[in-house]
Amino acid sequence: MNSRLIANSLRSLKVQNVSVVGSGLMGAGIAQVAAQTGHNVVLNDLNEAALGKAQAGIEKSLGRVAKKMGDEGPKFVEDTMSRMTFTTSIEETAANADLVVEAIVENLGIKQKLFSDLEAAASAQCILATNTSSLPVSAIGANLKDTSRFGGLHFFNPVPMMKLLEVIKANDTSDEVFQAMLDWGKAMNKTTVKCIDTPGFIVNRLLVPYLMEAIRLVERGHATKEDVDIAMKLGAGHPMGPLQLADYVGLDTCKFILDGWHQEYPNEPLFNPVDTLNKLNEEGKIGMKSGEGFYSYKKK
Ligand code: 3HC
């Protein structure tokens, strides 16, 4: 290919129309930030109830951002919302997308099927990406006809506040697609870091064992959960202590990640099951979103 053609094909990967599949906390946050940064956004979920909940959450979060913008605030909210469309149709989601980011349930089979459906409905240039936090990226895209258009875009909760985006090169991600994902991260006002498709990428590979070690320390009776949280906030400068953060991430998510890694690497002691985490999950106490985890979040 001559240099002019290469330049043209690179230019064609510029991302303006972004679709997000899955309107939970992460998907809604990704859609919100994409719309805030001037992209046209389609947010997809299985039913209207989920989309309605996501829209209300996005409006609330935009309100928190707008509060700091003075007189510009109301227009910012209005402009951002005007760039968003909500749909349950996969065809509508994929039709005009330059990029689709998937943020649905962490189930390999369901994700693979979704990407096959998306590929069938999307243009040949459309980039397909997963926000998975625990599954191998390459496995999620394995059934695609064109695996070179596929990679990982891993965001952090709460997406509007967290500055980082991990950009993951899967086995077959082309250089052009990888570069376009990095460029899009910048356009989203995120700082990007690159990582290969390795369990936990950078942040979760370090964060999840740290959270589990904090729980084990409390289990051994070496300190109270309150003191562990205070210690890491004031002694290490973290915005939240590890037990608070585990509740914030979700104890179901923590368990899902840990169990998957333990199954894959049974000899790694850092990935061993954690009794308290299992017990709280059995009791349905999965953190902030359920009203209780290590701490209670029930309104008094
Ligand atoms: N949308 C918009 N603005 C928000 C927001 C949101 N969802 N959450 C917080 N803010 C802003 C608001 O301006 C808020 O002020 P307001 O209450 O007047 O609106 C301001 O932040 C301060 O928020 P809070 O008073 O609620 O509390 P904090 O000062 O502690 O900030 C925090 C909240 C940003 C969540 C901070 O505690 C933090 O950074 N915690 C660590 C989060 C973290 O580590 N996330 C990564 C988890 S790992 C992950 O996601 C990966 C996955 O794969 C598991």
Whether 4 shows a pLDDT value over 60: the answer reads: no
pLDDT given for residue 5 in this prediction: 44
pLDDT given for residue 195 in this prediction: 98
Q: 45-92 pLDDT, tens per residue?
A: 999 999 999 999 999 999 999 999 999 999 999 999 999 999 999 999
CA dist 293 and 300 (Å) reads 16
pLDDT given for residue 14 in this prediction: 87
* Mean of pLDDT values over 239-260: 96
pLDDT given for residue 148 in this prediction: 97
If one counts every other C-beta atom within 10 angstroms of the C-beta of residue 113, the result is: 12
Domains of the chain: 3-196 (3.40.50.720), 209-290 (1.10.1040.10)
**Predicted complex: ipTM over 0.90:** yes
DSSP H helical ranges for 171-290: 175-187, 203-219, 225-236, 242-249, 251-264, 275-282
Mutate to test the pocket of ligand 1, among 32, 61, 64 (most ligand atoms within 8 A of CB): 64
Reported confidence tier of residue 115, pLDDT bands at 50, 70, 90: very high
Supply the residues annotated as catalytic.
133, 154, 166, 204
- Asked if 109 and 143 count as a contact pair (C-beta separation under 8 A), the reply is no
Ligand 1 centroid distance, CA of 161 (Å): 6
106 in a labelled binding site: yes
Ligand 1 atom closest to the CA of 64, numbered from 1: 19
* Mean of pLDDT over the chain: 95
Pocket lined around ligand 1, Cβ cut-off 6 Å: 61, 64-65, 133, 156-158, 160-162, 204, 207, 239-240, 245, 249, 253
Reported confidence tier of residue 8, pLDDT bands at 50, 70, 90: very low
Reported confidence tier of residue 12, pLDDT bands at 50, 70, 90: low
Instruction: Give the phi and the psi of residue 218 in degrees, each rounded to 5.
Output: -70, -40
Mutate to test the pocket of ligand 1, among 106, 159, 161 (most ligand atoms within 8 A of CB): 161
Ligand 1 atom closest to the CA of 159, numbered from 1: 7
Beta strands in the chain (DSSP E): 17-21, 40-44, 84-87, 99-102, 127-130, 150-154, 164-169, 191-196
Q: Omega into 273 within 30° of 0, i.e. cis?
A: no
